[in-house]
Structure 1
Amino acid sequence: MKQHYDLIAIGAGSAGLSVAIGMKRLGFDVLLIERNDHRVGGDCLNDGCVPSKALIYVSRMVHQARQSTRFGLKIDGDVDLATVMQYVRERQDIIREHENAAYFRQAEGLDVELGTARFVGSQEIEVNGQRTSAKNIVLCTGSLPQQLNVPGVEHVKVYTHQNLFDLDQLPKRLLVVGAGPIGMEMGQAFRRLGSDVTVVGSDDRILSKELPEASTILQKRLEAEGVAFRLGAKVTAFADAHTAEVTLANGETEHVPFDVVLVAIGRTFRFDDLNLPSAGIDLDDKGRLKLNDYLQTTNPHVFAAGDAAAGAPAGARYFSHAAELHASTLITNLISPGGKPFDKKLSYDNFSWVTFTEPEIATFGLLEDDLNERDIAFERIVYDFAHDDRAVVEDYEYAKMILFVEPQSINPFSTKIFGGTFIAPNAGELVQELILAVQHKLTAGDFFNKIYPYPTASRVNKNIWTDRILEGVPGVLKKAVKWLY
């Protein structure tokens, strides 16, 4: 470890790796710090995206196998969760081969220090008893699962996404507290593996950040698979190690039995080890780093990225690709010679996310609330998949696409997209073309004039425009076309 660096990144998750590798490849002297080698890769590799999607993959195979009985196949036997989790760990180990300290030292030329970092000055940190400094420091320290603090919880073995994948026996009854993305993904996965699943959510619908139509469709699909919901409800106590007291929306109390409880109610932060006061770094009233539009803390030489940037004015986005966005914003600004007047502010205008249930929900761009807040005129158009041939043959006619677009003008082919939501199998893949359309201001005509191979699922990106454009052609234009004909 050197005495001084151009940049220090504290935390080797998605944010820290993106910042450190990006700056190193641009020729800067970079130090990357992580607590231990197993935490390299952050939540995404160790506790989040990778293990959860591997588990979802297995649960989908099990579900499809059981569904095949309608065609005459006979399926029996129970899922061996230990074998499932072994598969999950194998997938993690494959990725970990190129996400570890030794690999980054050798392949990227990064200085990587394993240990706990703490500030000892505005631009100086100490790790493993050694001190070093940098022109700029980026905090990429992530977040932690919010704990459930109710009477009796001390008698319950509570799981979060951080230790859920340590299970080696399938719980007969799984109680999921929280109806957000983690709760929905893991709730469906364990139901498909064979658990009886009950979800308790404090909002009156699941996935409250999604459009209500998408939430409703997904909830119906999950209920059809056997997931039970208690919405507008709260776990208020644990009567014993296997019974939750749930206060329902009508005020009544229900005792819900469980073998395992998964808590997924939000994120929190812990910065104690960093000794932030010694660097002049303040927290806001929610315990988050106080940041400006440029991801800069109250210390002008210290920035934040990833979950640690939740206190930014643009808001929190707890996704690995949000960390990538933060990193690209920071790198752009750090190498920009112009200073703040020319620096790039953090913006989520072109941001997107996917909830990896089945069906998936993919959301992108500016939605109704954003457009109303900015006083932007728009129209809302909806495409139901009931008559889409691919949806019919693959049995997902329930799917839906909702777009927010420019109001129709005299030239219906000129309409641009602001944003929208898909709920469909593989929605995260179907939506990529629309995300590109928003970023590059493609028009309805660009989709209308594209010839899609039949019957690809992505033809819906054209079909949504067909009726709107043809029905929206002004009468005078129709007469002119007929006259020309």
Structure 2
Amino acid sequence: MSDTYDVVIIGGGPGGYNCAIRAGQLGLKTAIIEKRGVLGGTCLNVGCIPSKALLHASELFDEANHSFAGLGIKTGKVELDLKQMMSQKDEAVKGLTQGVEFLMKKNKVDYIKGFGKITGKGKVEVDGKTLETKNIVIATGSEPSTLPNIEIDEERVVTNTGAIALKEVPKKLILIGAGVIGLELGSVWSRLGSDVTVVEYLDRIMPGADNEVAKEAQRIFKKQGLDFRLGQKVTGVEKLKSKLKLFMEPAKGGDEEVLEADAVIVAVGRRPYTEGLGLETVGVKLDKRGFVETDHFKAADGVWAVGDCIHGPMLAHKAEDDGAAVAELIAGKAGHVDYNLVPSVVYTNPEIAWVGKTEEQLKEAGIEYKKGKFPFQANSRARTNHETLGFVKILADAKTDQILGAHMVGVGVGEMIHEICVAMEFGAASEDVARTSHAHPTLSEAVRQAAMGVEGWTMQM
């Protein structure tokens, strides 16, 4: 294995391994370093993939218990085999991480296990061995944030890592944080039998989402059994022999309240992982929140950064696009990512998805816009499937009709959002989507109907 490279990537998550694949495709001699001992990063190992495996399994469990009879499907008693549910989750993770390792070999990328540290310009040290390279890519991702006076043990007080590996269903579960990660994990355990209370500092759930969507989602989750305690500041968690005590007080001031639980999930966001990388040896600067400062992905001469450790949406698919763009820039090609067109999806049931600007952002910017909205209650496929919760909303410029954003709540909207992503990539007007034939009956007709609604000619209401 040669010690001299065109590109050395520190971090084997979605940003890193996609950068490595693209660099290999472009003929660049590439090495990727990963300290975890397995590729895939947080996403494949303890994030996106295992959580989706549990979301899918728990949804089927919930449907078998509550929906099958109404569809004319009789079953015997449905029981939970949590050990097997965790096992199938682990198998999915194993298969995908092995697949990424195969892609390294296929694209002639050297995979090096260990902790990579920059020791100077064009030099990266891994367990005492120095690699020389023309370009260094920092793709170290992020780690869970926590709160003061909370000791994470990943057994009873857990982050996403422990929340996907609980050994039994907690009777009472408290979720700190009403963001994407928390709501997904909370919904898993709620479907499996936990009594879930969501404690959130803000006075709303899903900060960053369109407010109308957030309100609709909260209404749905509440009917599903989640209890929301908004505007509450968590001040600590006390571990007793058989119980946990969570202490909280109103964010705006007030009396302390104590909640008891069997498990607590801390999901208060993520922070960039940049510790101990030797960034100072090459002049890489961090902002006050720990993000690597970059100019079009460039952090210093011969040093690039991608994914969660730089600004932009902290999403795996954004990191993938960053990684490919940097590989292309290193190869002398154009590389660009439009963060306004990176979709967000919450994989609850129903799903929540959005792309572009929210109504609140457009109002704040003083942009005049028109809105089209269509409920799944009026969609024929949703009615026949008994999946009528939610709606599709499309926002378009009042003068040009160019689509500025789309916001959806409903079954399958995580797939449907991409129609709008493509439309926005090409600068489409809402009329372009409205006049594009959609197969009937499909859930995606709701997207077309919402686009029709922008100009007031919805057909199915």
TM-score (norm 1): 0.86
Q: Amino acid of the residue matched to residue 79 of structure 1?
A: L
Contact 1:122–1:280 under 8 Å retained in 2: no
* 1:475 aligned residue: none
Separation (CA, whole Å) in 1 of partners of 2:151 and 2:113: 38
Please give the per-residue CA displacement for 1:226-268, whole angstroms capped at 9, x wherever unaligned: 1111111122123443111121457233221111111010112
- The corresponding residue for 2:121 is 122
Distance in 2, Cα, partners of 1:84 & 1:203: 34
Deviations 1:20-64 (A, max 9, x none): 1101111111111111432x1111110001100000001100111
> Which consecutive residues of structure 1, in runs of 5 or more, have no partner in the other structure?
311-315, 338-342, 410-414, 473-485
Code of the residue aligned with 1:325 in structure 2: it is D
Residue 440 of structure 2 aligns to a residue whose secondary structure is coil
User: 1:155·1:240 contact (CA, 8 Å) conserved in 2?
Assistant: no
2:274 to 271, 274, 277: 271
For the 8 Å contact 2:157–2:263, the answer to whether it is kept is yes
Does the residue aligned with 1:282 lie in a helix, a strand or coil?
coil
Q: Distance in 2 between matches of 1:105 and 1:151?
A: 39
- How many residue pairs were aligned? 452
Superposed, 1:212-227 pairs within 5 Å as 212-227=211-226
Q: CA-to-partner distance for each residue in 1:170-226, whole Å, 9 max, x for gaps? A: 111111111100110011110001111111111111102111111111111111111
Distance 1:346 1:270 in 2: 22
The root-mean-square deviation of aligned C-alpha atoms, in Å, is: 2.5
Q: Is the 8 A contact 2:163 2:185 kept in 1?
A: no
Per the TM alignment, residue 398 of structure 1 is displaced from its structure 2 partner at its CA by: 3.6
Q: How does 1:18-417 map to 2 (within 5 A)?
A: 18-38=18-38, 40-68=39-67, 71=70, 73=74, 76=77, 78-100=79-101, 103-104=102-103, 106-150=105-149, 157-241=156-240, 242-248=244-250, 251-292=254-295, 294-297=296-299, 299-310=300-311, 316-336=312-332, 346-371=337-362, 376-407=367-398, 415-417=401-403
Judged with a 3 Å threshold, the aligned counterparts in structure 2 of structure 1 residues 275 and 467 are, in CA distance, closer, same or farther, namely closer
Task: Tell me, yes or no, if structure 1 residue 450 matches structure 2 residue 436.
Answer: yes
Q: Identity of paired residues, percent?
A: 29
Change (3 A) 1:6 1:234: same
Asked if the contact 1:153/1:237 (under 8 Å) is kept, the reply is no
The equivalent of 2:415 in structure 1 is: 429
In structure 2, runs of 5+ residues without a counterpart are none
Residues 26 and 331, structure 2, Cα contact 8 Å, conserved in 1:
no
Q: Is the 8 A contact 2:371 2:454 kept in 1?
A: no
Deviations 1:374-421 (A, max 9, x none): 654422232233322223333344411221102267xxxxx3312110
Preserved CA contact (<8 Å) 2:154 2:161: no
- How far apart in 2 are the matches of 1:406 and 1:152? 48
Counterparts of 2:89 and 2:131 in 1: how far apart (Å)? 38
Larger RCO, structures 1/2 (Cα 8 Å, 6+ apart):
2
Q: Which residue of 2 aligns with 1:463?
A: 449
Contact 2:21 2:104 in 1 (8 A): no
**Which residue identity lines up with residue 63 of structure 2 in the other structure?**
Q
Deviates further, 439-448 or 455-464: 439-448
Measured at CA, do residues 470 and 418 of structure 1 come closer, stay the same or move farther in structure 2, by a change above 3 Å? closer
Asked if the contact 1:66–1:75 (Cα under 8 Å) also holds between the matched residues in 2, the reply is no
- Which shows bigger deviation, 382-391 or 196-205? 382-391
Supply the distance in 1 between the matched residues of 2:151 and 2:18 (Cα, whole angstroms).
42
- Alpha-carbon distance in 1 for matches of 2:397, 2:29: 47
TM-score (norm 2): 0.91
